[in-house]
């Protein structure tokens, strides 16, 4: 659980790079870590009110993490590490219905030349799950990614490979939408058509695709709903 006493509101002054923000706290401008590689142009811009968390580690260069924003009346988490932790909670508690029958959960198993987020084991066999964080929603339509992701496409190919090589009986990618206002999910083809194609190819050979919309409560996630997935080529 997140300690709410360590969270305060600041103003974003500038974002020099993907992982660094300059924030105004009172009369001071300080550096803050942005735990998300996405562009998030619609969420993070100069003058935006942001929620920041005091860092726990004194050896870090930055003393704060930018963990979220209030955008058009919707609270949005931008911590790309949170969905993985949330997914593990769901799996352990058997509260993610599509994979509730598995008893053993292994985090970050090494597979091929990399890692997936989870390996599940149960009477029905082995399953691999890859989790992706999604923050971009346009008029109720969640889309991923908001920046090109070679790594994401590679994960889709690897998930497909686990099925074709009988390394697993099931494989899935779960898009955790860190806001509650999504009614539909699609790959963001205009941003990264290679990822969209990789996702569609993976789905065509049996990789399951889920999108889970979440509420942000005390800067943790709570399930809102599974939203429909439309994998047709998306034109925004």
pLDDT given for residue 58 in this prediction: 63
* Range list for CATH 2.40.50.580 in the chain: 4-71
What CA–CA distances, in Å, run from 206 to 127, 135, 172, 200? 12, 26, 9, 10
pLDDT (average), residues 132-144: 96
Closest C-alpha to 24, from 55, 57, 58, 48: 48
CATH (residue range 4-71): 2.40.50.580
- Only one residue has tokens 């497909």, namely 160
- Only one residue has tokens 């001071």, namely 28
pLDDT in tens, 215-225: 999 999 999 99
pLDDT at 5 over 80: no
pLDDT in tens, 65-102: 999 999 999 999 999 999 999 999 999 999 999 999 99
- What CATH architecture is 82-226? 3-Layer(aba) Sandwich (3.40)
* Range list for CATH 3.40.1350.60 in the chain: 82-226
What integer best gives the mean pLDDT of the chain?
Answer: 94
């Amino acid at each position: 659980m997140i300690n709410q006493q360590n969270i305060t509101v600041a103003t974003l002054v500038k974002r020099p790079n993907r992982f660094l923000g300059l924030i105004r706290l009172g009369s001071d401008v300080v550096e803050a870590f942005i735990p998300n590689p996405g562009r998030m142009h619609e969420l993070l811009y100069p003058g935006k009110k942001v929620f920041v968390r005091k860092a726990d580690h004194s050896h870090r260069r930055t003393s704060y993490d930018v963990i979220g924003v209030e955008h058009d009346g919707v609270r949005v988490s931008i911590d790309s590490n949170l969905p993985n932790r949330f997914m593990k909670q769901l799996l352990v508690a058997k509260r993610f219905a599509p994979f509730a029958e598995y008893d053993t959960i292994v985090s970050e198993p090494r597979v091929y030349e990399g890692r997936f987020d989870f390996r599940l084991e149960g009477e029905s066999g082995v399953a691999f799950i890859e989790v992706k964080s999604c923050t971009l929603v346009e008029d109720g339509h969640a889309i991923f990614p908001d920046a090109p992701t070679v790594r994401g496409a590679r994960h889709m190919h690897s998930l497909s490979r686990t099925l074709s090589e009988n390394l697993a009986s099931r494989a899935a990618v779960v898009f955790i939408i860190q806001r509650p206002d999504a009614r539909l999910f699609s790959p963001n083809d205009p941003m990264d058509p290679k990822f969209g194609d990789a996702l569609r190819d993976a789905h065509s050979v049996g990789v399951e695709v889920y999108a889970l919309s979440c509420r942000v409560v005390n800067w943790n996630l709570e399930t809102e709903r599974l939203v429909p997935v439309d994998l047709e080529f998306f034109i925004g």
